[in-house]
Structure 1
């Protein structure tokens, strides 16, 4: 990739190149392994449990597990040549029967259906992309709070209706975005709690008469509890809808922030400057510095909404029982949406980390935008003037200042001659922003407190994600140990 274009001196950041230019060039994920590795993981837990419950002889279970381990070690290569007219799982099970005999391979599906198997496999498959999304949101949150602490006094206008409104600080803006992100991340964490519930044991829809132990497979697969109702276990994929809904809400935040950054990095505004590795040039126009990543953020952040609409529509066509429309068609939309949302989070984080405010220009815009007007009206209220009267009087000052090309503060001093001196003291935007301490305003202490609050909440969510990840890893070790023990005993 060319490092320079003339106008730009570097190539894009490596993370940007990976997301936008390189990932699609690599071979896609192997669909056989993507399906059969989590499937065989469930099989390992299921067979261990069958042996421990005395449903299957321990020696038979050991030989069956050895056959499964052999396939996993070979990355399921023997299955890649086999036809799968009724799906990969039945081809996989058929291979085990053929290789190990019906007395061994044929016991694999005891007390189980593809219905509860598929519901369980989905949860295992969702773990990695879900965990990555949470981790990237946490990283974005830390970038935002770091920015809030770095620029708590960098005065700029807050905008409403695309017009300067009141003075805030860039740190105040970033702390506000962090607060919203924490709320969205909390909803993502809540949406994913169903991933911790184990549907294995529900069978086709009505459970099983075999004395299986769902609590044991729950432990071996890293879940927290088995689902208590077999119908719910196989009929529902609501976790997909909840994840997509949470991603959709998060995507709205990402898109709105991207809109702000687009405006503030434009040549006309120029409130923020982006480094060369976060902008692009033009193939024809050599002067261009395009913040194109923000358009990618907007496009990728919208993916979840489309997926939610499609998944919801597919599920609404099915009755409340196991259904292909639910378990296959609706679920198929979640993967690309999780990837796109995670990419949007990463790209926005890079922009938040790389954007540098231009304090002098920000302050000038706040001054020229007469952002101190509301503070003056409030001071008149303190002096005993009814707010609506004060609003009208200050509005008249604002109009005259604009018409005469005079600074607002000078016009106010001229028009309010004879009023108490403290009415006009400290009426510059920086002083007004510092004084706005009530209602979560941009006063420095408030900005830092908001950043600390967001940091604390992020830490709580991060600890929960870490505990979940450790539980998954511990379960993997426990399961592997149980599998190894049974295989060793069968070989003795």
Structure 2
């Protein structure tokens, strides 16, 4: 397509402006926001009739035209002709054609495209938030299920990329669960801001007509109206709050995804994925590539980037109604939700299918001396040593085992007995068998029954709390769904009553 040429500068719109701005906006509105705009028209009409701003005859004519338009016009089939500014004016022109210019033009009483725009943008954002939260609840349920299944399954916990201490897979996943719960709560908090209706603010200052803003909010399924009318058209924190919360969720998910990729490497081998989740090299048939984690890392990063881009677009914009926060910015943000759904679904499936390899875990724990902290602790509790002395003895044992290439449980006792006698001046009470118990990873975990620890009772209590949080998320979502369904039914009923002159 060749470069567009500007036309007559005395008439609107210039062809370049039409093709670069108006047509994309029209197409975006008919694709993403047509249904919401129709609901806004209906709710506003019901309110105008119920408050007496329009009489019943006027309301009936408009209602019949709107009902017919919804039945007969497919927004997806519409083509932008350049003869109106945008989708809103196209539909208003159609309403005037059907109901008459005098009657059809009355629907716009006491409203502006300013409050209409932010209302349909919020109506477009709410179901996307709800769908993302539904997928997050599914992931949370899987995490709780796998953490419960693997509450006693040992893993190596790493710090600074090195083996650190034993814990359980369930305990590790519980940390993920807590972050996910907080992320979901952040998204719910953002949703509560989105769930306040701007309609009735008109251009800036509301209206001289006796509009009922609570009624339109109720009919559209919002929790209530956003109070300050300037805020309705200027304070787009509903956008920044939402996309900040989305970005944080997927940034946080990306961190354990990186761990899972590391765990599933050949050298570590702590996490095994079944064949359905691995790809074989085209030239190296021995390779089992854990590609879901690579895709998850990449897609989670995409989600963060897309969400952050929306927030960054609003940096240093004026505190007023402005195009920067509107349709094209919002539609770009919708891509973050689309990619985010893929991450949540794939992560849930992959974690459910994966299994910890206990043999590799046992070898890595033993050879890395990952239980040596508990040896020092036991020397304090059972041999009566000060912790710093116990720590020094334990460190010497670990160095000797690593230098010999042996394992702590099998070859650590001679180094322990020698270091203990040299530092303390007597042989240890613990014999070889007792020493093996001291450095056992099972004992390491079992004794850590402190609040938040991996011990069976502590982790069991935590998992019970997470199940309660999941039920609470589901309960709040159900209540929102019931409110929205009731609002939709009421709006549909009142529209037909008004159309029939009741």
Query: Please, what TM-score do these two structures have when normalized by structure 2?
Result: 0.87
Alignment of 1:469-484 (within 5 A): 469-484=481-496
Structure 1 residue 403 corresponds to structure 2 residue 412: no
How far apart are the structure 1 equivalents of 2:259 and 2:75? Answer: 51
How far apart are the structure 2 equivalents of 1:49 and 1:139? Answer: 39
Partner of 1:323: 322
Q: Work out the number of aligned pairs and report it.
A: 462
Alignment of 1:391-430 (within 5 A): 391-417=391-417, 418-421=427-430, 424=435, 425-430=437-442
How far apart are the structure 1 equivalents of 2:395 and 2:41? Answer: 73
How far apart are the structure 1 equivalents of 2:62 and 2:413? Answer: 89
How far apart are the structure 1 equivalents of 2:265 and 2:72? Answer: 54
Alignment of 1:330-349 (within 5 A): 330-349=329-348
Q: Deviations over 1:390-426 (max 9, x none)?
A: 2222111111111123322345432444223397334
Partner of 2:290: 291
Aligned-residue offset at 1:91: 0.9
Aligned-residue offset at 1:52: 0.6
Whether the aligned pair in 1 keeps the contact of 2:367 and 2:405 (CA below 8 Å) is no
Partner of 2:61: 63
Alignment of 1:192-203 (within 5 A): 192-203=191-202
Partner of 2:170: 171
Aligned-residue offset at 1:31: 5.4
Alignment of 1:291-310 (within 5 A): 291-310=290-309
CA pair 386-117 structure 1, distance change in 2 beyond 3 A: same
Whether the aligned pair in 2 keeps the contact of 1:97 and 1:106 (CA below 8 Å) is yes
Aligned-residue offset at 1:240: 1.6
Give the root-mean-square deviation of aligned CA atoms.
2.1
Q: Deviations over 1:26-76 (max 9, x none)?
A: xxx985253211101011000010001111121221221221122222343
Aligned-residue offset at 1:380: 2.2
Q: Equivalent residue of 2:314, what SS?
A: helix
Residue 30 (structure 2) aligned to one of 19, 29, 32: 32
How far apart are the structure 2 equivalents of 1:357 and 1:190? Answer: 36
Residue ranges of structure 2 left out of the alignment (5+ in a row): 1-26, 418-426
Whether the aligned pair in 2 keeps the contact of 1:241 and 1:308 (CA below 8 Å) is no
How far apart are the structure 2 equivalents of 1:315 and 1:403? Answer: 57
Aligned-residue offset at 1:283: 4.2
Whether the aligned pair in 1 keeps the contact of 2:149 and 2:170 (CA below 8 Å) is yes
Q: Equivalent residue of 1:168, what SS?
A: strand
Larger deviation, residues 44-53 vs 336-345: 336-345
Q: Equivalent residue of 2:121, what SS?
A: helix
Q: Deviations over 1:321-340 (max 9, x none)?
A: 11111224543432111222
Structure 1 residue 443 corresponds to structure 2 residue 469: no
Aligned-residue offset at 1:381: 2.7
Alignment of 1:69-218 (within 5 A): 69-76=67-74, 80-81=78-79, 83-84=81-82, 85-218=84-217
CA pair 120-414 structure 1, distance change in 2 beyond 3 A: same
CA pair 343-82 structure 1, distance change in 2 beyond 3 A: closer
Whether the aligned pair in 2 keeps the contact of 1:254 and 1:297 (CA below 8 Å) is no
Residue ranges of structure 1 left out of the alignment (5+ in a row): 1-28
Q: Equivalent residue of 1:421, what SS?
A: coil
Residue 464 (structure 1) aligned to one of 448, 455, 476: 476
| Higher relative contact order structure (alpha carbons within 8 Å, sequence separation ≥ 6) | 1
Larger Rg: 2
Q: Equivalent residue of 2:428, what SS?
A: coil
How far apart are the structure 1 equivalents of 2:58 and 2:408? Answer: 88
